[in-house]
């Protein structure tokens, strides 16, 4: 059985391979070709953490599970840690155990890239990012594979200037400054109360929102979730886990159905589109299978 640490995963996992693989995985999920329960989440209350188990089997493909922890109050240590176990679908034999922290980081951004490719206006050139951590970094990298941005603005409560200097983008003093006039917006700030207001958005904006993955958490205000057309990675998971989607009380479309051609994406240049992702196990298993494929190659 192979054991791969994070540097080994990093060496083998690249967005140019991962983004199309995640697109196909989400299409398979929406087409009923993936067996995947909504994740089981165990609170670790004394330490303000959560432990989740996320298994998936892609029909005719990969079988595995991610064990992931989320400790939102961590300082100086990543908030997410994970291991992924991959199994041989034909016999159930263990194939590999690998670090899943980087896979979680990259597959989340890759899913947003899949949505951005299909929902953002083709001429989108201004990117606004709320947040300056791991997901802000990964989204900046992944979204550049699907759109050419002439301007990138970033705001966060603490580290925007350092992030902007490191990535050669522009730090701005408020969330509204990052968002106003942006064509694509990323919300990656680990907030449990709304930090993005719909009134800041211009017509035709596309929003990727990846946090607030508990039913009582929010990162988007009512104005946004009730006026945007909402896309999700998994309808079942989003309606159970996302406070923003629950608050919207509207029909949601799986992005995998757009990839598969069974649902429409952006309908006009004025529509505000929102991709609300909670993260699903088939993304992790697909990314891990790519890592094993590269290792074998």
Q: Which two tokens stand for residue 46?
A: 């004394």
Mean predicted confidence (pLDDT) in 104-123? 97
Q: Name the band, by pLDDT with cuts 50, 70 and 90, for residue 187.
A: very high
297 pLDDT exceeds 70?
Answer: no
pLDDT for 190 equals 78
The alpha carbons of the chain give a radius of gyration, in whole angstroms, of 18
Query: Model confidence over 218-275: pLDDT tens digits?
Result: 999 999 999 999 999 999 999 998 889 998 988 899 999 999 999 999 999 999 999 9
Q: Which helix (H) or strand (E) holds 50?
A: strand 49-58
pTM passes above 0.75: yes
pLDDT for 79 equals 87
Domain 2-104+281-296 belongs to what topology?
Answer: ornithine cyclodeaminase, domain 1 (3.30.1780)
Mean predicted confidence (pLDDT) in 154-162? 93
Query: Model confidence over 109-118: pLDDT tens digits?
Result: 999 999 999 9
Are the C-beta atoms of 44 and 67 separated by less than 8 Å? no
Mean predicted confidence (pLDDT) in 142-155? 97
User: Which of the listed CATH numbers 3.40.50.720, 3.40.640.10, 3.30.420.40, 3.20.20.80 matches domain 121-276?
Assistant: 3.40.50.720
Distance CA 75, CA 78 (A): 7
pLDDT for 225 equals 92
pLDDT for 34 equals 96
Q: Which two tokens stand for residue 66?
A: 């991610």
Mean predicted confidence (pLDDT) in 87-96? 95
- The count of C-alpha atoms lying within 13 angstroms of the C-alpha of 152, restricted to the half-sphere facing its C-beta, is 24
Cβ-based neighbours of 32, under 8 Å, separated by 6 or more:
none
Q: What residue segments make up the domains of the chain, in order of their start?
A: 2-104+281-296, 121-276
| Residue that wins the pLDDT comparison between 54 and 157 | 54
Q: Name the band, by pLDDT with cuts 50, 70 and 90, for residue 296.
A: low
pLDDT for 250 equals 86
């Amino acid at each position: 059985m192979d054991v791969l640490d994070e540097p080994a995963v990093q060496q083998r996992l690249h967005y140019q391979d991962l983004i199309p693989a995640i697109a196909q995985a989400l299409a398979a999920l929406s087409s009923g070709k993936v067996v995947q329960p909504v994740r089981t989440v165990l609170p670790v209350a004394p330490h303000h953490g959560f432990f989740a188990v996320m298994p998936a089997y892609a029909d005719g493909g990969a079988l595995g599970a991610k064990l992931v922890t989320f400790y939102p109050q961590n300082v100086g240590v990543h908030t997410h840690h994970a291991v992924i176990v991959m199994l041989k679908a034909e016999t159930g034999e263990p194939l590999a155990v690998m670090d899943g922290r980087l896979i979680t980081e990259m597959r989340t951004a890759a899913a947003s890239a899949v949505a951005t490719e299909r929902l953002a206006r083709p001429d989108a050139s201004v990117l606004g990012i709320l947040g300056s951590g791991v997901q802000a970094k990964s989204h900046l990298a992944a979204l550049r594979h699907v759109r050419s941005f002439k301007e990138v603005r970033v705001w966060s409560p603490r580290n925007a200037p350092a992030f902007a200097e490191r990535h050669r983008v522009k730090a701005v003093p408020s969330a509204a400054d990052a968002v106003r006039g942006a064509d694509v917006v990323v919300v990656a700030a680990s907030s449990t109360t709304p930090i993005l207001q719909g009134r800041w958005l211009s017509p035709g904006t596309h929003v990727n929102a990846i946090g607030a993955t508990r039913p009582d958490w929010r990162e988007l205000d009512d104005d946004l979730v009730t006026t945007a057309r909402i896309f999700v990675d998994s309808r079942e998971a989003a309606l159970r886990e996302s406070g923003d989607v629950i608050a919207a009380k509207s029909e949601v479309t799986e992005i995998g159905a757009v990839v598969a051609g069974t649902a429409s994406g952006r309908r006009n240049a004025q529509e505000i589109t929102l991709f609300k992702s909670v993260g699903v196990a088939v993304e992790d298993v697909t990314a891990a299978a790519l890592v094993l494929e590269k290792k074998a190659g």
